[in-house]
Amino acid sequence: MLQHGPRSEFLGGVRAELPLLLGVVPFGLIFGVLGLAAGLPAWAVVVSSFLIFGGASQVVFAQLWGAGTPPVVTAATVGVVNLRHLLYSAAVAGYLRELPWRWKLLLAYLLTDEAFAAAIGRLRDGPATPYRHWFLFGTGFTLWAGWQASTLGGVLLGTAIPAAWSLEFSIPLTFIALLVLSVRKRSEAGAALAAGFAAVVLLAIPHKLGLLAAALAGLAVGLALRRLDEDAA
């Protein structure tokens, strides 16, 4: 077997991704359950994992759709939630430049937080061989398969869980966990607090547009508070 052949790179990516599935599979199970709790039909929960393929944004989609939000506002919010993938796209673009379009399209579809996190070290620090994109394919495919399977499992579990368990509350709980993981600086905590305050104040704005306005307010406050970080960083 070639040391840096397609097969060995792909398997290297699979091995790098497997430990991350420990966190992803339970999240997929939970998404399957709470997608139903938010009011999506079972088929839509499964199809959203295939079409949208982004954990937090799928939770947002389920929640907004369940609340009867207009599709344009829902899509805009999903787009904002996934905007961070711009950074991943920019970070891997240089390594994929010479590839044919079918590879670029495939790897873009598979470019998630966890696939990126597990592959960027290999791309940046490993040898610049012609098959290194197979490593990213390995991490991306492994995560994709784990996510689809666990969502399906969650949907099967979820149909057996009664509404009295208030499982829809696991949606904000998921976001609280993601928020704590994403906040490393004081200004970022400030952005979250400001956005949360604004979201409650702006609740009366129709069509959940207050949500986007509140996110923008949080963004502005975070940027304004940047100088707070200098002594903390």
- Map the footprint of other proteins across residues 67-106, applying CB under 8 A: 71, 74-75, 77-94, 96-97, 104-105
Q: Is 65 exposed, middle or buried (0-12, 13-18, 19+ CB in 10 A)?
A: middle
Whose Cβ is closer to other proteins: residue 61's or residue 141's? 61
List the interface residues with other proteins, window 20-59 (CB under 8 A): 23, 26-27, 30, 40-41, 44, 47-48, 51-54, 57
Q: How far is the CB of 129 from other proteins (least distance, A)?
A: 19
Asked if 117 is part of the footprint of other proteins (rule: CB under 8 A), the reply reads no
220 Cβ contact list (under 8 Å, min separation 6): 194
Asked if 207 is part of the footprint of other proteins (rule: CB under 8 A), the reply reads no
Q: How far is the CB of 138 from other proteins (least distance, A)?
A: 17
- b/e 148-168 (16+ beta carbons within 10 angstroms → b): eebbbebbeebeeeeeeeebb
Give the amino acid at 192.
Answer: A
Whose Cβ is closer to other proteins: residue 2's or residue 87's? 87
64 Cβ contact list (under 8 Å, min separation 6): 73, 74, 77, 208
Asked if 200 is part of the footprint of other proteins (rule: CB under 8 A), the reply reads yes
Q: How far is the CB of 1 from other proteins (least distance, A)?
A: 28
Asked if 219 is part of the footprint of other proteins (rule: CB under 8 A), the reply reads yes
Asked if 19 is part of the footprint of other proteins (rule: CB under 8 A), the reply reads no
> How many Å is the Cα radius of gyration of the chain?
19
Whose Cβ is closer to other proteins: residue 10's or residue 27's? 27
Whose Cβ is closer to other proteins: residue 11's or residue 228's? 228
CB atoms within 10 A of CB 80: 16
Asked if 157 is part of the footprint of other proteins (rule: CB under 8 A), the reply reads no
Q: How far is the CB of 5 from other proteins (least distance, A)?
A: 23
Looking from the CA of 32 toward its CB, the CA atoms found within 13 Å total 25
Q: Find the Cα–Cα–Cα–Cα dihedral 186, 188, 190, 192, rounded to 10°.
A: -140
- By CB under 8 A, the count of residues binding other proteins is 90
